[in-house]
Every structure is written in structure tokens, then in C-alpha cells.
């Protein structure tokens, strides 16, 4: 990988792309630490510090993770890339529901361009909503319920409006930055920016751990490196189901072997099951924080508070694990439809040697997929448990930085990007092969 | 910061459109020189640093030699071409003359110009027609046709300006790439390409690679499979996909075939299955007289986008044989693909590209994306007064055909000439029969030779003429109005259905209303037209029609437009995919050719073999001498370079066929995967060339007469021929397959684009 990158830097146009991407990342980070006008930065810092040491550190940690620390700092890029991602997901879902959008999508490039335009409008809409809600929370002090300091310099309507406008504008700039990376940089803009958000919190957290205890720091680093290696290993693992096409007379093959296959990954589901499971487990925590303060909490709330608020409680751990396994199967079954794939192969003359097209092929694919998903789901579950286990075993700080989600995102985007760089390198670097 | 205004203009301009203000000013300045130039008895050789004077001289030369005085707009067109843009000029505005002036301009700048046209007839006609003008400007001109000999070609390429069909230039390039002696080379270094009918050549034809094939083995007859599939019935034994592009066996069909073949397992015998699939494709998807004609015991493909016989096209080999078996014809010789080039690869060899056409704006984006060309819209000399009526949409095909006949009868009664554009050959014949039955005399234009066609279409503007043609018949020829026709309203163009691209519709419309003539056009569309059933099968159709079957609901126009946009999008995707997937191969080809040239023109082959097998080399040098041995080494290395390249192409087309499946393991982009495979195969290719060359050299029989090719196992193809691959019926399945795959893959594709 390192050689790939050094080689990439020696290829002029690829170097430009890489530098461009890095430049965008720098801009993105700059906007993430730049406070929105009207924010009392000193007080915000104070509250943030208190919150991270307090009871609800888990929740704040998650929020920090997904916004690269920008959200709770109330910065210009506070909303991050999330509104854009949300709106592109929404539009993708709507494309299935609304016939007019479906028709547009079918029209190819010109139609997709229109859909992209709608995505951008929706992003702005979401940004206005989110920033308004968020500024309102900050203004009334609900953002950090335990912190009594005022977060804004004053409570003028003008200040509030300015903040909303600035954050919305920030979101559109992020959207633009993302598209610029996709167009002129390396990798997919959205992914690169999420990647940036996720790793942005690492240095400060690692530094925190180091300050607390140097030994823990070494352990954390070792575990982290080991986990990254393990994740890379499993993410690359795939089962190749050979496919043949019987539509052309096959000429003499020079190299033998087959290069036509369906690559089924061990972790076909990616990171989504973990996100689903952790958001579902948020609900009890939310309920407890809403009703738990009352004088006489009901039995359900009490039970929830006992079992689901602390991450190291056995019930919580088992539930988390089971949910991840469930969602892995669930997500694989909705994203990889063996019947559809078999149908597609049948229509274009493809088949798995020895197996009839249509139903038998679908059944075979399903069989292979289910067997692969078993270790895949266990792997996802284990990786996600690591921070919790580490918590129990080593009594490390709540914010174990190499959480399952962040590692999966990191490795996923990292691998993608390196692969893309490699493939671009391959297209350019022929000189070496030619005498 | 003088670039700020330019930056702003670029920002506000529609991408791909060029500003023609400067050309208009130059053309106006040319008027100032006119008096002075006209007074000269002998025209001076134009200096190319003063374009206004050049225009004036060219104008006077055209006036004296051709008796045509170019209008200002024609000069504007020529200037746009000289500036490397695509000039959009309406039909009948005199593109040929503009092109000739521009070509002469480039030639006077010391460049060599290839004027590429769409067929032999136009290349020859334009070269001969414009000949006197070139001569007056001191520029030499030549032309090439399909039947030109090697000597004639070399002579034509030696001229300053060469007119040739784009495919002939491509084929010459391909043949040069497998030449075994420098004396056989024909095509000079590319310099300027001026493309006539640029949208057709650069966009429509660009989907179809030019191919050089060599005879390998006699064709494989597969009559059993043809007989077998004839017994199968649609819907029970086999089914078609929604768009009618693919056919596949059902489980019952598989049972029946396996039983008929003696109880084999079809999915364990690839060869048999392939034959059955191909036979089924030929049986169920290819229709005689629509997709192909049978004439003189041979299959002739019909080019759908031009509506004429494509003499040089074949289907990929297995399919060609299957169709021959279906028609009970003897199998023609099969070939293997030795080399291929896309139009794009061909055109981009030229450092300077420009072009002209009647419909460029619609493909502006593509011209910019694929060729970095800008479109200059040249205003017409006189405003166009043609009346384009809105489409008439009918519920059923029968309603449309009835209305079509009625409309023709009605208009014909007034004496107004009518040109009917139909979508395919069989439809044109059916319509002609109907009209004849109704007592109307008409001329049918389809799949004949270009020259005859041009003569017929030139008469289509006579009073009371009815001409029924397929899409592109007679492109490049004007329809002049006969006497008294202008008073009747000019030529009336009726389209019997919208084409797969709005440009083709516009081309058809553009037949009427040339140079300010009156004219009219209308399209009759039915909701059962192939365009709609193929590209918008799921769209809810508008509510019921009236008595006459005419649908008046406004949704009708939307559905038709939507179907056309889907078709255009599909074709654009195919084009883009062809380009993306061939770009790697063309880059590799360039590198192999670079190597090949060193062997062909130099002693790279000899040096390599001498270094690899010094003993053998020394021994043979003693026996036959340095010169003979050098030539033998050249032949050996060239042979293996060509041989391995052929195998490489075959391998890569196998890889491409199933590469879309890689998208299923998410995070894998099929294109990147294709590159990965391609690069690895390329490395092996070079190793293989070296290994095989040394092997052959060690065992070759080399005498004083040179290398004994047969003894040594060096067997080149006995014959080579060139053809265009018919738009690969399986190839674009690739793209469709890609789209249909899992939503994740779809999303990734969208994001990657």
C-alpha cells in the first residue's frame, strides 16, 4: 500500500488528484473547527469537557464520532456530510416509490442529473431543519443538560438566524467539496469525508488516554493495530462462484483458468448491521433519560435502566451481539437477492457450471451465501464487541477509540480508495513493463 | 486579470457551445476584399495569417470554378471548422463547400487533411465536385473508396486533401498495423480530420468497432441446433426478456433439448449449450427482412440506424453461423479478430479534429466528453419556414397505419410531394404495397446503392411525388423542389414513428424546408411502436383514444418523449461503456505497436533474439549471413506479436462478458476489475511473445532464402478482411445486466459516475 502511494505521487496527474483531495480534507477540517458566529467558544469547550466525563459519555462519544467533533463545537460545518447522505438515501428510496422519479432514472444521464439536483435541494432543506433544531437546543441549554453555561453570546433572533444560515451554507459547501473529490480527486467524495470525520477524533482521544496512563495507551495501540489487520483480512475475503457464458463460440484461451465469477464477500453486509443494532439499542437509553428522572419510574423503565444503559452489562452485550447477527442476515438478504441474480444470469446466458439456470441457481447461491454469512455475522458481532470487552477487561476509559463502527468505516473507505489509486496507477504505469 | 471576463463567459455559456462572433466579423471583412480580388485575373496563393483575405480568395475561387458564391454563413462555417469546432449547419446550407474551404485552409497551413464522409459515393462525389476549387487554390485532392487498390490509396493519401469514408481510413490503419514490411504501409501520419455528418460518425457509428479479421477455420455448420430450436415454442420452451433483446430456455425447454440430444446435461457441456443458445437467438430474435436480408445465398445485415444493407458487417462468429444455419445456407468462413479499433480511437489519433452536420447541438455533451469538441451553431442563410406539426399519437399500430395512408392520400390529392420516413425495411415495403393497392404511385428507397439512392432522393421534390424511404437514405443529398411545388407548401415529410434518437427525427424533418423553402413535417406515432414497448414498457398509457384511434391526452406526448429519452440514455451508456472498456485495450495496442514498429523498421527483433540465443545466432550468422537472418528474426517476432495480440483480444472479450458480476461483491467496480485483469494479461502477453519467439527461433529452419515459414510453424491467416461488428447483441446486454443488479451495485455505479 505504501509503495502504491509513493508510486502514485510519482505520477503527475495522480499526484495532482491526491494533493487536491488532501487540500479538500484540510478545508473540511478547517470548517469543522471554525466556530459559527455567535457561539461562546469558551463556554462550549467547558461544557464539552464536562459532558465527556459525565454519565452520558457514551452518547456524546457517538455524536462526536459521526460529526468529527464538529457538531458539539457548533462549528460552521457542524452538520457534517450527514444531511447529504441522508437526502441521497431518501431520494433513492423515493425513486422506488414515485413513478415520475423512476421514469427520470431510466432516462439515463440527463435524468440522473435531475435527481442529483433534487438531492441537493433536499440536503439544503434538511440542513435548515437540523441547524434550526440544533441552534434552538443550544440556545435553551438542552444541548448539554448538565451544563449551566450559556452557549451563545446572546439570544437575539438575529444571532440565531445568522447561525442557521451559516450552518446551512456550511452544509452546502461540504456537499460541493464532496462532489469535487468525486470529480477531480481520488475515491468517492462522500466516503472520503465520512472517513475524515471518523478519524478526526482519534488524535485527541489517544492523547487523552496517553495522559491518563501510558501503559493503557500501548495496549490500546496494540489492540488497535491487531484489529485493523484482522478487519482488513476479513474484508478482503471472498468466495468466488464460477460463472460461464454460453453465448459466443469460445476461442482458444491463452491463459486458462476462469476470470468470470461472482465474488461473494464474507462480510457482504458491510457496516450497516452494526449501525442498525446500535441505533436500536439507543432507544432504551433514550427512554431512560426521558423518564428515568421522575420520582417514581415504572417497572419497565427500571428494568431498562438496570440492563440496557451500561454497555458492560451482560444483557446489553448479548442483545447487541444477537441484534448484529440478525441484522447481518437481514441486510444480506435484502441487498443480495439470489433470485434476481439468477434471473439476470439466465437472461444473458450465464450459468454456474453443472447447475441449471433459474431456480436451482438461485438456491445454490442462497446456500453459499447463507453459509458465508454465518462467519461474517459472527465477525461483525465480535468486532463491535471489542470496545465493550476492552472496557470490562482492562477497565479502560469509556472512549475506546477503536470502536467497531469506526474501524469498519476506516478500513472500508481506506481499502476502496487504495484500490482506486492502484487501478489508476495500473492504467498509467505501462512504461515499466515496456523495454 | 484579463482572464476574468473569459472565465465568466465560460461559466455562463452552455458547455460545449462556441461563440461565433469572431467568425462573423471575419466573414464581413472578407466582403471588403471582394472587389479587389475579383479584379485579379490570377488568384494569389492565400496567406493563412489573414483569414479575411483567405475567405475572400476562396469565395472568388468558388465563384469562378464552381459557379457558386459562398454565402457569409458558409464562410462562418468554414472558419469554425478551421478553428477545430463542429459546425452545425442546416440541411441544404452548403456544408460541402464550407468543408472544402476549411480543408483547403488547413492544407495551405501545411497540414494534411482527411475529409471523412459516411460512404463511398459521397467521398467520391465531393472530391470530384470540389476538385476545381482545390486546384484554383493550389491544393491537391484525392479520394478513396471501398474498391480502391493499395496503389490508389497510397496515391490518394499523398495528396494534401483526401476524401474517404471513415471506415476505409480505419481499415487502412488496421491493415497497416499487421504489415510485415515497411513497403506495405499505406496511411501517413495523421494530421487533420474533417468529419462530415459528424454526429452520425462520432456518436452513432462510434458504438461499433472496426475489425480486421483473418480466416482461421472453415465455418462450423450447426444445422442440428437450428432444426432443434425450430420445434420449440415461445412462452413454453423459451422466453424473451422485456426489451426483446435476449432469449433463454425455460426449465421445460432445457428438458426438451436435453432429451432431444440424448439425455445429456446441458449445463455441463458448454459447447453444445452455446450452439443451442445461438440457434435460439437466431431463431427467436432475428427476423428476416428486418434484421437481415438473404440475397445471392448470403446473409446481409441491415444496419438499423441507416436502414440499409451493411455489406461489411457480420455478427460475432457463432451467431453468424447460426443465422446461416437457420436459413439453411452453407456456413461462411469464420474468422478470428486480429485487431480492432473504435471510431473514437481512430479519430483521436488526429491532433486536429473538426466536423460538420445538421444536428450537432443534441450531442454537444458527448462531443465534448469524448472528443473535446465544441459546437458552433451557424445560422442559416434564410430563416427556416418549415411548419413542424406536433406528433399525432395513435393507440394501436393499425390505427396509425390507417391514418398514415389517409394522410398520404389527402396530401397527395393537392399535388404536394411527400417523403415518408419509415423505421425499417419491411415497414417501408408494407407501406409501399398498401399505397400501390390504393392506386398511389410511389418510389421505395431502401438498401440500394448510394449513388442510385441519391438520384432518386434528388427527384423527391417533384410535384405529386411520393417517396417512401428508410431512415438515412440519401443523407447528404438535397431535395430540390420541383416547379410550382413551393406554392403548394413545399415538401411534406411524414415520419411513421419516432426514432431512437431525436436527432434522427430532426434529420428527417430537415429534408423539408431547405434554404428558406416552404415545407412541413409531422410524425405519426403509435403506442405500440417498438420505441415505446421497448423503452417505456412500464409507463401507464394515456386514457382511451377517440373514434379514429387518435390519443389527445397530453400524457401521450410525455410517454413518447420519455421513451425516446430512455433510448438516448441507453445508447449513450453503451457508447460510454464501449469507450471506457476499449480505452485500456487501445492504450495497450499503442504500446504493442510502438514495439512492433521498432521491430518492423529497425533491428529490435534481431537484437533481442541475438541476445537471448547467442549461440544459435552465431551459428546461423555463419550459415546464412547477417541480412537474411535479420529478416527471419523480424518475421518471427512480428508473427508472435500479432498472434499473441489476437489471443489477448479474445481473452479480454471473454473477461468483459462476465465482469459485471464483480459488482455483486460490493466495493468492486467492474471497470477497475477489468483493468486489473487487463494489466495482468498484458504483462503475460509480453512474456509470452518473448518466450514463443525464442522457442521458434531455436527450432526454425532458416536457409539462405530466408525463414521457411511452413516448416517453422509460422502460419499467418490465409486471408484477411475487414468488417464492422454489428452492434453486439450481447455486448449491450452487459450494460443492462449491470443496471439490473443489486441496488447497492446500482448506487455505487451512480456514485462512481
Give the residue from B750, B744, B365 showing the smallest Cα distance to A105: B750
Cα separation of A59 and A284, whole Å?
12
Domain residue extents for chain B: 12-205+344-377, 223-339, 387-567, 598-652+683-718
Which of these CATH numbers, 1.10.579.10, 1.10.3370.10, 1.10.10.10, 3.30.565.10, describes A1-201?
1.10.3370.10
Asked whether the beta carbons of residue A433 and residue B686 sit closer than 8 angstroms, the reply is: yes
Closest chain A CA to residue B366: A109
At residue B738, the pLDDT reads 45
CATH fold match for the domains B12-205+344-377 and B387-567: yes
Residues of chain B with Cβ-Cβ distance to A353 below 8 Å are 267-268, 270
At residue B625, the pLDDT reads 84
Buried b (16+ CB within 10 A) or exposed e, A423-434: bbbbbeeeeeee
Comparison of pLDDT for B711 and A409, the residue scoring more: A409
The predicted model gives B557-567 an average pLDDT of 89
Comparison of pLDDT for B632 and B735, the residue scoring more: B632
Cα separation of B662 and B227, whole Å?
37
Give the residue from B329, B325, B320 showing the smallest Cα distance to B298: B329
Q: How many residues does chain B have?
A: 753
At residue B187, the pLDDT reads 92
Comparison of pLDDT for B456 and B101, the residue scoring more: B101
| CA distances in angstroms from B149 to A223, B155, B189, B404, B430, listed in the order given | 75, 10, 20, 47, 40
Residues A158-181: pLDDT tens digits? 989 999 999 999 999 999 999 999
Residues A178-234: pLDDT tens digits? 999 988 888 888 889 988 888 887 887 788 778 877 887 888 788 888 888 989 999
Query: What is the C-alpha R_g of chain B?
Result: 29
A88-97, A178-187, B462-471, B738-747: least confident range: B738-747
Residue B591 near residue B558, CB atoms below 8 Å:
no
A2-6, B605-609, B683-687: least confident range: A2-6
Q: Which of A87, A251, A362 should we substitute to test contact with B (largest number of B Cβ atoms within 10 Å)?
A: A251
The predicted model gives A10-37 an average pLDDT of 90
- Residue B451 reports pLDDT greater than 50: yes
Give the residue from B136, B134, B64 showing the smallest Cα distance to B96: B134
B315: Cβ contacts below 8 Å, ≥ 6 apart: B301, B323, B726, B729
Comparison of pLDDT for A235 and A363, the residue scoring more: A363
Question: ∠ CA B729-B733-B736 to the nearest 5 degrees?
Answer: 145
- Residue B751 reports pLDDT greater than 50: no
State the burial class of residue A29 (Cβ atoms within 10 Å of its Cβ: 0-12, 13-18, 19+).
middle
At residue B719, the pLDDT reads 63
A298: Cβ contacts below 8 Å, ≥ 6 apart: A291
Residue B599 near residue B663, CB atoms below 8 Å:
no
Q: How many CA atoms lie within 13 A of A108 on its CB side?
A: 19
Give the residue from B48, B202, B194 showing the smallest Cα distance to B112: B194
Residues of chain B with Cβ-Cβ distance to A428 below 8 Å are none
Residues of chain B with Cβ-Cβ distance to A338 below 8 Å are none
A1-5, B218-222, B655-659: least confident range: B218-222
As a whole-number percent, the residues of chain B with pLDDT over 70 amount to 87
Residues A225-261: pLDDT tens digits? 888 898 999 988 889 898 888 776 654 443 445 678 8
Per-range mean pLDDT, top range of B3-7, B54-58, B433-437, B567-571: B54-58
Residues A52-71: pLDDT tens digits? 666 556 566 666 666 667 77
Residues B357-391: pLDDT tens digits? 988 888 888 888 889 899 998 888 888 888 899 99
* DSSP E strand stretches across B76-139: 86-88, 113-117
Closest chain B CA to residue A412: B667
B12-205+344-377 sits in which CATH class?
A: alpha beta
Residue B370 near residue B345, CB atoms below 8 Å:
no
- Residue B104 reports pLDDT greater than 90: yes
The predicted model gives B511-540 an average pLDDT of 86
Interhelix angle A99-106/A82-97, nearest 10 degrees: 100
pLDDT band at B216 (very low <50, low <70, confident <90, very high): low
pLDDT band at A435 (very low <50, low <70, confident <90, very high): very low
Residues B472-520: pLDDT tens digits? 555 667 788 888 888 888 999 999 999 888 888 888 888 888 888 899 9
Asked whether the beta carbons of residue B750 and residue A112 sit closer than 8 angstroms, the reply is: yes
Give the residue from B50, B44, B121, B118 showing the smallest Cα distance to B79: B50
Distance from CA of A271 to the nearest CA of B (A): 12
3-state helix, strand, coil in chain B (%, to 5): 55, 15, 30
At residue B538, the pLDDT reads 76
Contact with chain A for residue B587, Cβ under 8 A: yes
Q: In which element (H, E) is residue A238 found?
A: strand A238-242
Asked whether the beta carbons of residue A247 and residue B317 sit closer than 8 angstroms, the reply is: no
* DSSP E strand stretches across B508-608: 519-526, 550-551
A307-316, B175-184, B378-387, B431-440: least confident range: A307-316
Between A and B, how many residue pairs show a Cβ–Cβ distance under 8 A?
Answer: 206
pLDDT band at B597 (very low <50, low <70, confident <90, very high): very high
The predicted model gives A406-417 an average pLDDT of 84
Q: In which element (H, E) is residue B335 found?
A: strand B335-341
Q: Given A111, A112, A354, which is nearest B267 (Cβ)?
A: A354
Closest chain B CA to residue A96: B743
At residue B733, the pLDDT reads 40
At residue B735, the pLDDT reads 44
Residue B725 near residue B208, CB atoms below 8 Å:
yes
- Residue B217 reports pLDDT greater than 80: no
Closest chain B CA to residue A241: B661
Q: Given B568, B666, B667, which is nearest A108 (Cβ)?
A: B568
A255-264, B20-29, B721-730: least confident range: B721-730
Buried b (16+ CB within 10 A) or exposed e, B283-320: bbebeeeebbbeeeeebebbbbbbbbbbebbbbbbbbb
- Residue B79 reports pLDDT greater than 90: yes
Residues B105-136: pLDDT tens digits? 999 999 999 999 888 888 998 999 999 999 99
Give the residue from B714, B654, B694, B211 showing the smallest Cα distance to A255: B654
Q: In which element (H, E) is residue B302 found?
A: strand B298-303
Q: Given B539, B747, B751, which is nearest A103 (Cβ)?
A: B539
The predicted model gives B279-289 an average pLDDT of 88
The predicted model gives B59-79 an average pLDDT of 92
Give the residue from B157, B71, B470, B191 showing the smallest Cα distance to B307: B470
pLDDT band at B174 (very low <50, low <70, confident <90, very high): very high
Dihedral angle, C-alpha A43, A48, A51, A53, nearest 10 °: -120
Residue B292: φ, ψ to 5°: -155, 160
At residue B470, the pLDDT reads 78
Q: Where in chain A is the domain with CATH 1.10.3370.10?
A: 1-201, 213-400
| CA distances in angstroms from B185 to B177, B393, B722, listed in the order given | 8, 55, 16
Give the residue from A82, A83, A75, A81 showing the smallest Cα distance to A163: A75
Asked whether the beta carbons of residue A253 and residue B644 sit closer than 8 angstroms, the reply is: no
pLDDT band at B447 (very low <50, low <70, confident <90, very high): low
Cα separation of B477 and B464, whole Å?
20
Closest chain A CA to residue B657: A245
**DSSP bridge pairs for B143:** B163
Q: Which of A84, A96, A103, A115 should we substitute to test contact with B (largest number of B Cβ atoms within 10 Å)?
A: A103
B244: Cβ contacts below 8 Å, ≥ 6 apart: B285, B534
| CA distances in angstroms from A280 to A324, A377, B237, B742, listed in the order given | 10, 17, 49, 26
Residue B101 near residue B74, CB atoms below 8 Å:
yes
CA A405 to chain centre: 7
- DSSP secondary structure code for residue B522 in this structure: E
Distance from CA of A235 to the nearest CA of B (A): 10
Q: Given A248, A259, A347, which is nearest B655 (Cβ)?
A: A259
Per-range mean pLDDT, top range of B71-75, B226-230, B423-427: B71-75
Question: ∠ CA A140-A142-A148 to the nearest 5 degrees?
Answer: 80
- Residue B729 reports pLDDT greater than 50: no
Asked whether the beta carbons of residue A353 and residue B246 sit closer than 8 angstroms, the reply is: no
At residue B12, the pLDDT reads 54
What integer best gives the mean pLDDT of chain B?
Answer: 83
Give the residue from A161, A197, A192 showing the smallest Cα distance to A72: A197
B725: Cβ contacts below 8 Å, ≥ 6 apart: B208, B209, B211, B313, B314, B316, B340
pTM value? Answer: 0.79
CA B753 to chain centre: 25
**Would you call B97 helix, strand, or coil by DSSP?**
helix
Cα separation of B662 and A347, whole Å?
17
At residue A281, the pLDDT reads 78
- Residue B140 reports pLDDT greater than 70: yes
| CA distances in angstroms from B475 to A388, B127, B479, listed in the order given | 74, 17, 10
pLDDT band at B673 (very low <50, low <70, confident <90, very high): confident
As a whole-number percent, the residues of chain A with pLDDT over 90 amount to 20
CA A157 to chain centre: 35
3-state helix, strand, coil in chain A (%, to 5): 70, 5, 25
- Residue B3 reports pLDDT greater than 70: no
The predicted model gives A26-36 an average pLDDT of 92
Strand B292-295 relative to strand B550-551: parallel, antiparallel, unpaired? unpaired
- DSSP secondary structure code for residue B268 in this structure: G
At residue B732, the pLDDT reads 41
Cα separation of A137 and A148, whole Å?
13
Q: Considering the domain A213-400 in this protein, what is its CATH number?
A: 1.10.3370.10
Which of these CATH numbers, 3.90.226.10, 3.90.1440.10, 3.20.20.60, 3.30.70.260, describes B223-339?
3.90.1440.10
**Would you call A122 helix, strand, or coil by DSSP?**
helix
- Residue A27 reports pLDDT greater than 90: yes
Residue A189 near residue A88, CB atoms below 8 Å:
no
At residue B191, the pLDDT reads 95
At residue B479, the pLDDT reads 84
Contact with chain A for residue B683, Cβ under 8 A: yes
What is the DSSP track for B188-257? PPP-EEEEETHHIIIIIGGGS-EEEEEE-SPPPP-HHHHHHHHT--BTTTEEE-TTS--EEE-HHHHHHH
Considering the domain B387-567, what is its CATH architecture?
Answer: 3-Layer(aba) Sandwich (3.40)
What is the DSSP track for B131-163? HHHHHHTT--EEE--TT--HHHHHHHHHSSEEE
Phi-psi sector, A256: left (phi>0), alpha (psi -120 to 50), beta:
left
Amino acid at each position: 500500500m505504501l509503495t502504491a502511494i509513493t508510486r502514485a505521487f510519482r505520477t503527475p496527474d495522480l499526484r495532482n488528484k491526491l494533493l487536491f483531495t488532501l487540500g479538500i480534507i484540510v478545508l473540511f477540517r478547517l470548517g469543522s473547527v471554525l466556530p459559527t458566529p455567535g457561539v461562546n467558544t469558551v463556554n462550549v469547550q467547558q461544557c464539552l469537557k464536562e459532558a465527556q466525563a459525565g454519565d452520558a459519555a457514551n452518547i456524546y462519544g457517538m455524536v462526536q464520532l459521526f460529526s468529527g467533533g464538529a457538531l458539539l463545537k457548533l462549528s460552521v460545518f457542524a452538520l457534517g456530510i450527514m444531511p447529504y447522505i441522508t437526502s441521497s438515501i431518501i431520494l433513492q428510496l423515493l425513486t422506488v416509490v414515485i413513478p415520475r422519479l423512476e421514469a427520470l432514472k431510466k432516462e439515463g444521464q440527463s435524468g440522473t442529473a435531475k435527481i442529483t439536483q433534487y438531492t441537493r435541494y433536499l440536503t439544503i432543506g434538511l440542513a435548515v431543519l437540523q441547524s434550526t433544531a440544533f441552534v434552538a437546543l443550544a440556545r435553551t441549554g438542552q444541548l448539554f443538560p448538565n451544563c449551566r453555561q450559556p452557549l451563545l453570546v446572546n439570544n437575539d433572533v438575529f444571532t440565531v438566524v445568522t447561525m442557521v444560515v451559516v450552518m446551512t451554507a456550511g452544509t452546502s459547501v461540504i456537499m460541493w467539496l464532496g462532489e469535487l473529490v468525486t470529480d477531480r480527486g481520488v475515491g468517492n467524495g462522500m466516503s472520503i469525508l465520512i472517513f475524515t470525520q471518523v478519524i478526526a477524533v482519534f488524535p485527541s482521544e489517544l492523547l487523552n488516554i496517553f495522559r491518563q496512563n501510558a501503559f493503557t495507551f500501548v495496549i490500546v495501540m496494540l489492540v488497535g493495530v491487531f484489529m485493523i489487520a484482522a478487519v482488513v483480512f476479513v474484508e478482503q475475503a471472498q468466495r468466488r462462484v464460477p460463472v460461464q457464458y454460453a453465448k459466443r463460440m469460445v476461442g482458444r484461451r491463452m491463459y486458462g483458468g476462469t476470470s468470470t465469477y461472482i465474488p461473494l464477500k464474507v462480510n457482504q453486509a458491510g457496516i450497516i448491521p452494526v449501525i442498525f443494532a446500535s441505533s436500536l439499542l439507543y432507544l432504551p437509553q433514550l427512554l431512560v433519560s426521558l423518564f428515568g428522572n421522575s420520582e417514581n419510574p415504572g417497572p419497565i423503565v427500571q428494568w431498562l435502566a438496570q440492563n440496557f444503559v451500561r454497555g458492560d452489562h451482560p444483557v446489553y452485550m448479548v442483545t447487541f451481539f444477537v441484534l448484529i447477527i440478525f441484522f447481518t442476515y437481514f441486510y444480506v438478504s435484502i441487498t443480495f437477492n439470489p433470485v434476481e441474480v439468477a434471473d439476470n444470469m439466465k437472461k444473458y446466458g450465464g450459468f454456474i457450471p453443472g447447475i441449471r439456470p433459474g431456480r436451482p441457481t438461485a438456491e445454490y447461491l442462497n446456500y453459499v451465501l447463507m453459509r458465508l454469512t454465518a462467519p461474517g455475522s459472527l465477525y461483525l458481532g465480535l468486532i463491535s464487541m471489542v470496545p465493550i470487552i476492552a472496557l470490562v477487561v482492562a477497565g479502560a476509559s469509556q472512549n475506546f477509540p477503536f470502536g467497531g463502527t469506526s474501524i469498519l468505516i476506516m478500513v472500508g473507505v481506506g481499502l476502496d480508495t487504495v484500490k482506486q489509486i492502484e487501478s489508476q496507477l495500473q492504467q498509467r504505469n505501462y512504461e515499466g513493463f515496456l523495454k | 486579470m484579463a482572464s476574468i471576463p473569459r472565465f465568466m463567459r465560460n461559466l455562463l455559456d452552455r458547455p460545449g457551445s462556441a461563440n461565433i462572433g469572431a467568425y462573423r466579423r471575419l466573414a464581413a471583412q472578407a466582403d471588403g476584399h471582394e472587389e479587389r480580388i475579383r479584379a485579379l485575373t490570377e488568384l494569389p496563393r492565400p496567406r493563412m495569417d489573414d483569414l479575411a483575405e483567405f475567405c475572400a480568395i476562396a469565395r472568388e475561387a468558388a465563384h469562378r470554378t464552381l459557379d457558386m458564391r459562398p454565402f457569409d454563413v458558409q464562410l462562418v462555417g468554414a472558419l469554425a471548422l478551421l478553428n477545430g469546432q463542429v459546425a452545425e449547419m442546416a440541411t441544404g446550407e452548403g456544408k460541402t463547400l464550407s468543408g472544402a474551404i476549411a480543408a483547403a485552409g488547413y492544407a495551405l497551413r501545411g497540414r494534411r487533411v482527411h475529409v471523412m464522409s459516411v460512404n463511398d459515393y459521397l467521398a467520391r462525389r465531393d472530391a470530384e465536385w470540389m476538385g476545381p476549387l482545390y486546384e484554383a487554390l493550389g491544393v491537391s485532392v484525392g479520394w478513396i473508396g471501398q474498391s480502391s487498390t493499395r496503389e490508389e490509396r497510397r496515391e490518394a493519401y499523398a495528396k494534401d486533401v483526401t476524401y474517404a469514408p471513415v471506415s476505409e481510413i480505419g481499415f487502412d490503419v488496421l491493415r497497416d498495423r499487421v504489415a510485415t514490411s515497411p513497403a506495405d504501409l499505406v496511411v501517413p501520419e495523421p494530421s487533420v480530420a474533417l468529419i462530415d455528418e459528424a454526429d452520425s460518425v462520432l456518436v452513432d457509428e462510434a458504438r461499433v468497432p472496426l475489425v480486421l479479421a483473418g480466416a482461421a477455420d472453415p465455418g462450423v455448420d450447426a444445422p442440428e441446433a437450428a432444426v432443434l430450436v425450430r420445434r420449440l415454442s415461445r412462452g413454453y420452451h423459451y422466453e424473451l426478456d422485456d426489451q426483446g433483446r435476449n432469449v433463454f430456455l425455460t426449465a421445460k425447454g432445457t428438458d426438451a433439448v436435453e432429451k432431444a440430444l440424448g439425455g445429456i446435461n446441458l449445463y455441463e457441456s458448454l459447447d453444445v449449450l452455446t450452439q443451442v443458445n445461438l440457434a435460439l437467438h437466431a431463431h427467436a430474435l432475428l427476423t428476416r427482412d428486418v434484421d437481415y436480408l438473404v440475397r445471392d445465398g448470403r446473409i446481409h445485415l441491415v444496419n438499423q440506424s441507416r436502414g440499409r444493407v451493411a455489406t461489411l458487417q457480420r455478427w460475432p462468429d457463432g451467431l453468424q453461423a447460426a443465422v446461416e444455419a437457420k436459413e439453411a445456407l452453407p456456413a461462411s468462413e469464420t474468422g478470428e479478430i486480429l485487431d480492432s479499433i473504435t471510431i473514437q480511437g481512430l479519430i483521436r489519433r488526429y491532433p486536429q479534429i473538426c466536423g460538420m452536420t445538421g444536428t450537432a447541438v443534441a450531442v454537444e455533451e458527448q462531443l465534448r466528453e469524448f472528443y473535446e469538441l465544441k459546437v458552433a451553431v451557424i445560422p442559416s442563410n434564410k430563416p427556416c419556414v418549415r411548419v413542424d406539426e406536433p406528433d399525432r399519437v395513435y393507440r394501436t399500430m393499425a390505427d396509425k397505419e390507417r391514418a398514415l395512408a389517409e394522410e398520404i392520400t389527402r396530401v397527395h390529392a393537392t399535388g404536394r410531394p411527400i417523403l415518408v420516413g419509415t423505421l425499417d425495411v419491411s415497414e417501408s415495403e408494407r407501406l409501399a404495397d398498401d399505397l400501390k393497392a390504393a392506386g398511389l404511385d410511389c418510389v421505395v428507397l431502401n438498401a440500394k446503392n448510394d449513388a442510385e439512392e441519391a438520384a432518386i432522393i434528388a427527384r423527391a421534390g417533384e410535384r405529386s411525388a411520393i417517396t417512401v424511404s428508410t431512415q438515412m437514405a440519401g443523407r447528404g443529398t438535397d431535395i430540390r423542389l420541383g416547379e410550382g411545388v413551393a406554392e403548394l407548401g413545399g415538401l411534406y415529410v411524414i415520419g411513421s414513428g419516432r426514432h431512437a434518437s431525436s436527432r434522427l427525427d430532426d434529420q428527417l424533418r430537415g429534408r423539408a424546408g431547405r434554404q428558406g423553402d416552404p415545407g412541413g413535417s409531422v410524425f405519426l406515432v403509435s403506442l405500440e411502436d417498438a420505441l415505446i414497448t421497448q423503452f417505456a414498457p412500464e409507463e401507464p398509457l394515456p386514457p382511451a383514444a377517440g373514434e379514429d384511434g387518435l390519443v389527445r391526452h397530453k400524457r401521450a406526448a410525455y410517454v413518447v418523449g420519455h421513451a425516446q429519452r430512455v433510448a438516448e440514455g441507453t445508447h449513450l451508456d453503451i457508447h460510454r461503456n464501449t469507450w471506457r472498456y476499449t480505452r485500456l485495450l487501445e492504450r495497450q495496442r499503442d504500446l504493442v505497436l510502438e514495439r512492433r514498429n521498432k521491430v518492423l523498421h529497425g533491428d529490435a527483433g534481431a537484437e533481442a533474439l541475438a541476445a537471448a540465443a547467442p549461440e544459435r545466432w552465431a551459428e546461423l550468422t555463419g550459415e546464412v549471413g547477417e541480412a537474411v537472418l535479420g529478416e527471419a528474426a523480424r518475421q518471427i517476432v512480428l508473427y508472435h506479436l500479432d498472434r499473441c495480440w489476437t489471443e489477448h483480444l479474445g481473452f479480454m472479450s471473454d473477461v468483459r462478458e462476465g465482469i459485471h458480476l464483480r459488482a455483486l461483491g460490493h466495493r468492486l467496480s467492474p471497470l477497475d476489475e477489468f483493468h486489473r485483469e487487463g494489466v495482468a494479461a498484458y504483462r503475460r502477453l509480453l512474456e509470452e511473445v518473448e518466450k514463443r519467439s525464442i522457442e521458434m527461433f531455436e527450432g526454425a529452419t532458416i536457409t539462405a532464402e530466408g525463414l521457411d515459414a511452413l516448416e517453422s510453424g509460422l502460419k499467418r491467416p490465409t486471408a484477411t478482411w475487414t468488417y464492422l461488428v454489428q452492434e453486439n447483441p450481447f455486448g449491450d446486454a452487459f450494460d443492462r445486466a449491470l443496471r439490473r443488479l443489486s441496488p447497492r451495485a446500482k448506487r455505487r455505479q451512480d456514485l462512481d459516475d
